[in-house]
Amino acid sequence: MSLLTIENVDFKYAGSCDPSLKNINLNLESNSLNVVIGPSGIGKTTLLNLIAGYDHPSTGQIKMAGKAIDQPDWQRGMVFQDMALFPWLTVADNILFGPKMRHLNDPEIQDRLARLLAQTGLTDYRDAAIYELSGGLKQRVALAREFINRPPILMLDESFSALDNATRSDMHDILLNLWETTQNCVIAITHDIDEALFLGQNIIVINQHPGTIVSVEANPYFKKDISDLSGEPAYGAFRRRLLGLIGKPKNR
């Protein structure tokens, strides 16, 4: 059985006349890195909101480990684009927020914190205020705050899109590193094809109005450096095909 199963899900926002998502079917496994890509306004964020439990499908069902999702909990973490870190807490206290809420304060958590601070290069910023950090450092705090909880599913909504190229590439490495140690199921939204090709074991393309999954691609170029690939014809063809799939949405 898959970790996450989405069956025949439709979703319409209250008060809007057209559904935002139609006939979504998807199975995702633990220890997988999945990227969702598609034109803007197609329903990518809406899909994550359903998986998180912030909203509920109009029809169909979403199950985690066989159980229907009815409300948000720590087992499905979410990193928002503007991170929503708590400015009244220090870096360390932001990261420890989840464990504190879950009443976990054993030495194991302190170990995790120290390890995560090291893995994300935040050790020197442990007691810094959030507003003192650059965008890239804040993004690291946002990742550490999720990973300390070890959620079986972790969602990222265009987390890296506001960062400059060098910082974004650092964040990719940090994310891959964290994911390899936790082996959870990551679902990352992006609108950047190269980010999708680097980060996605599976690339899930959403398109059409209303939004639906038009393709799930196993990505042979996962974690591969583009500069080594640019001359390879098969890579170019794959990339072009994806670009075609995420091109202008058509009405069904």
Partner 1 sequence: MQKKRRLRSFNISLATTAVIIILWSTVTSLKLISPVLLPSPLRVGQTFINLCLVGYNGTLLYQHYLITLGRLLVAVVLAIVIGIPLGLLSGYVPTVKAVVDPIVQFIRPIPPLAYYTLLILWLGIGETSKVTLLFLAALPPIYLACFDAVVKINREYIRGASSLGADQRQIFFHVVFPAALPDVFTGVRSAVGVAYTTIVSAEMFAASAGIGWMIVDASHYLKSDVMFVGIIVLGVTGVVLDWMIKLVENRVVHWRGKF
Binding site for ligand ADP (CB under 6 A): 13, 16, 20, 38, 40-46
**Taking the complex as a whole, how short is the minimal distance between the CB of residue 205 and ligand ADP, in angstroms?**
12
**Taking the complex as a whole, how short is the minimal distance between the CB of residue 117 and partner 1, in angstroms?**
17
Binding status of residue 130 toward partner 1 by CB under 8 A: yes
- Give residue 185's identity as a one-letter amino acid code: C
Binding status of residue 90 toward partner 1 by CB under 8 A: no
The CA R_g of the chain, rounded to the nearest whole Å, is 18
- In the shown chain, the binding pattern of residues 150 to 169 toward partner 1, with x for contact by CB under 8 A and - for none, equals -x------------------
- Give residue 246's identity as a one-letter amino acid code: I
Per-residue DSSP letters for 30-44? SSEEEEEE--TTSSH
**Taking the complex as a whole, how short is the minimal distance between the CB of residue 47 and ligand ADP, in angstroms?**
7
Partner interacting with residue 102 (select from ligand ADP, partner 1, Mg ion, none; CB below 5-8 Å by kind): partner 1
Q: Given phi > 0 = left and psi -120 to 50 = alpha, else beta, which region is 183? A: left
**Taking the complex as a whole, how short is the minimal distance between the CB of residue 153 and partner 1, in angstroms?**
10
Q: Strand 153-157 relative to strand 76-79: parallel, antiparallel, unpaired?
A: parallel
Residue of 31, 50, 71 lying closest to 157 (CA atoms): 50
Q: Which is nearer to ligand ADP, 46 or 201 (CB)?
A: 46
Nearest-angstrom CA–CA distance, 226 and 70: 41
Q: Are 120 and 174 in contact (CB under 8 A)?
A: yes
Q: Which is nearer to ligand ADP, 38 or 200 (CB)?
A: 38
Residue of 217, 206, 209, 208 lying closest to 241 (CA atoms): 217
Within 45-64, which residues bind Mg ion (CB under 5 A)?
45
In three-state secondary structure terms, 81 is: coil
User: What are φ and ψ of residue 158, in 5° steps?
Assistant: 45, 45
Q: Which is nearer to ligand ADP, 43 or 151 (CB)?
A: 43
Partner interacting with residue 29 (select from Mg ion, partner 1, ligand ADP, none; CB below 5-8 Å by kind): none
- Could you list the residues that contact partner 1 (CB under 8 A)? 52, 54, 71-74, 76-78, 80, 82, 84, 86-88, 97-98, 101-102, 129-131, 145-146, 149, 151
